[in-house]
Structure 1
Amino acid sequence: MAATEEHTVLPAPDFDKPVKVLIVVSPYYSDIAAGLLRGAKAALEGAGASYDVVEMPGALEIPTAIGISDRRSNFDGYVALGCVIRGETTHYETVCNDSSRALQMLGLQGLCIGNGILTVENKQQADVRADPDGQNKGGGAALAALHLIALTRKWTSTPTGIGFKPSGEDTVMAGDLDGNTTA
């Protein structure tokens, strides 16, 4: 059973510059969302990150909110929190698949997103996963976002003159033999 299996949790990365994260949470199941949110906030605070929280009606709206935020704000990363519990119709599969796929597509575009949208069979499974003293999936999603932010920062650096970027003031541009620039 997943609740009793051991797994590795990476420690939070260290940052030399401030980190700002947006937590997007669906309070559809408010008690589950509250547990996820407590875990995510604790993980972010433990890493010294600042955060804002916005609520969305359901899991399907979470990726859209993240996409809008990315285009109109300045967050380093995102934490998606919510819960989808299997019901009697195929709506469960649609919500699970589409919210996960949309978050993955945003991630492949370069957004740093920790996915903490639970997809479970029943409320008991959700309770165990959302509990910050249990599986702490909210904290895990926040840590995932932080690790992606750290990776992005590691590979984002100032160009060193390789390719078409000038490396200094003594660089002569093509067609400008005397070093003067023309506009």
Structure 2
Amino acid sequence: MFGADKGKADRLDGKDLVIGIVQARFNQDVTNTLAQACREELLAHGVAEKDIEHVLVPGALEVPVALQAMAEKGGYDALVALGCIIRGETYHFELVANESAAGVTRVALDYQLPIANAILTTEDMAQAVARQVDKGRDAAQVAIEMANLLEDIG
């Protein structure tokens, strides 16, 4: 079984990994905190600052196309999607949440490239704020672990 013989510390070794981050600006207070937590966690696990490329897009629906452009460019071991969608009074929440998630997944599968999806989908701002740091850290760990797993498999 791939990765079964490795300890968690080995799976979270970010040394020599190149990670791309796509951050939606909508609900920027939350997404900035997500990004900061993600970057700090990447650095803490050995990813070099020079090996982190961070781009901003308007909102969650634009995240997949930026991820796709990065995947096509190549050179990344993993990507991270960051955003925050908060339920409103209309169906728009479901549309944005579903379509952004589907786009992120499609890019990951089409390019066989790990993408940690940390586009928060919450009922209100309080839920988003409660999750912003942990989900940013989680995204970094997922990106590193999956990059290492795919390297082992490949």
TM-score of the superposition, structure 2-length normalised?
0.87
Match of 2:31 in 1: 33
**Whole-Å Cα distance in 2 between the matches of residues 75 and 65 of structure 1?**
13
**Whole-Å Cα distance in 2 between the matches of residues 108 and 44 of structure 1?**
23
Percent of matched pairs sharing the same residue: 35
The alpha carbon displacement at 1:73 in A equals 3.6
Match of 2:12 in 1: 13
- RMSD in angstroms over aligned alpha carbons? 1.4
Match of 2:131 in 1: 129
- Larger RCO (CA within 8 A; separation ≥ 6): 2
**Whole-Å Cα distance in 1 between the matches of residues 137 and 64 of structure 2?**
19
The alpha carbon displacement at 1:52 in A equals 1.2
Q: Confirm or deny: 8 A CA contact 2:13 2:144 kept in the other structure.
A: no
Indicate the SS of the match to 2:26: coil
**Whole-Å Cα distance in 2 between the matches of residues 107 and 69 of structure 1?**
11
Indicate the SS of the match to 2:60: coil
**Whole-Å Cα distance in 1 between the matches of residues 94 and 117 of structure 2?**
17
Match of 1:30, as an amino acid? Q
- Whether 1:78 and 2:76 are equivalent positions in the alignment is no
**Whole-Å Cα distance in 1 between the matches of residues 106 and 72 of structure 2?**
15
The alpha carbon displacement at 1:128 in A equals 0.4
**Whole-Å Cα distance in 1 between the matches of residues 28 and 107 of structure 2?**
26
Match of 2:144 in 1: 146
Long gaps (5+) in structure 2? 1-7
State the Cα deviation string for residues 24-75 of structure 1 (Å, max 9, x = none): 0012111101110111001110111131110000001101101011112411
Report the number of matched residues.
142
TM-score of the superposition, structure 1-length normalised?
0.73
Q: Which has the higher helix share?
A: 2
Match of 2:32, as an amino acid? A
